[in-house]
């Protein structure tokens, strides 16, 4: 039960961060790009200071939101990679595609983790994940992204985003954070669909 409440807390922050980025980008894309860049710089500095000095008050925050394996090695890893993934798609793709992919990141990833904790059917592509989580991620991601792109595009992008989450990508034995992979893959899929189905 503690594991589920931790995941609920963590994924709620995930959704709120995604909604904040979408809201800011709708108001002013350029400002949002700079804001996210500054946040990343500040976050990396804070992470390095935390590794060196281990501030107690930051430890309390990390204990509530950060996975245990990153508490000492890379504090704020999840948040920083979420912001970095959002920054990349906002810089590379058109606004509607970027917003759709950030919506997929915020909602698909969050719901797949929460529902996955409650599910019991193992995903054949990754036994550490449950099929219920993957399916819920696709459904919720489709709904969220369809505010910005056609429903068919939203569904296909959500499907490939959840597939990429299951098929963990590694770089020198270190798993590449899905907060970077998911928005890039979903945005690329929507871009290609628009290119070939026009």
The pLDDT score that the predictor gives to residue 172 is 47
Q: Is the pLDDT of residue 66 over 70?
A: no
Tens digit of pLDDT for each residue in 25-48?
A: 999 999 999 999 999 999 899 888
What integer best gives the mean pLDDT of the chain?
A: 84
Burial class (CB in 10 A: 0-12, 13-18, 19+), 4: exposed
Tens digit of pLDDT for each residue in 148-175?
A: 999 999 999 999 998 887 776 554 455 6
Domain ranges of the chain: 2-196
Tens digit of pLDDT for each residue in 111-145?
A: 887 777 676 666 565 556 677 888 888 999 999 99
Q: Give the residue-averaged pLDDT of 100-107.
A: 96
The pLDDT score that the predictor gives to residue 149 is 96
Q: Give the residue-averaged pLDDT of 92-103.
A: 97
């Amino acid at each position: 039960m503690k594991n589920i409440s931790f995941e609920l807390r963590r994924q709620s922050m995930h959704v709120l961060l995604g909604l904040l980025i979408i809201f800011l980008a709708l108001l002013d894309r350029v400002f949002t790009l700079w804001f996210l860049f500054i946040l990343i710089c500040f976050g990396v500095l804070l992470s390095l200071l935390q590794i060196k000095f281990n501030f107690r008050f930051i430890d309390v925050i990390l204990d509530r939101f950060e996975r245990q394996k990153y508490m000492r090695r890379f504090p704020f890893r999840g948040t920083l990679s979420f912001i970095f993934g959002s920054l990349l798609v906002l810089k590379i793709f058109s606004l509607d595609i970027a917003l759709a992919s950030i919506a997929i990141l915020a909602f698909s990833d969050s719901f797949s983790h929460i529902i996955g904790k409650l599910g019991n059917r193992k995903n054949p592509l990754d036994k550490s994940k449950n099929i219920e989580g993957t399916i819920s991620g696709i459904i919720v991601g489709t709904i969220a992204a369809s505010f910005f792109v056609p429903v068919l595009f939203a569904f296909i992008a959500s499907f490939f985003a959840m597939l990429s989450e299951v098929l963990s990508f590694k770089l020198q034995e270190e798993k590449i954070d899905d907060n970077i992979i998911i928005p890039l893959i979903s945005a690329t899929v929507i871009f290609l669909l628009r290119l070939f189905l026009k």
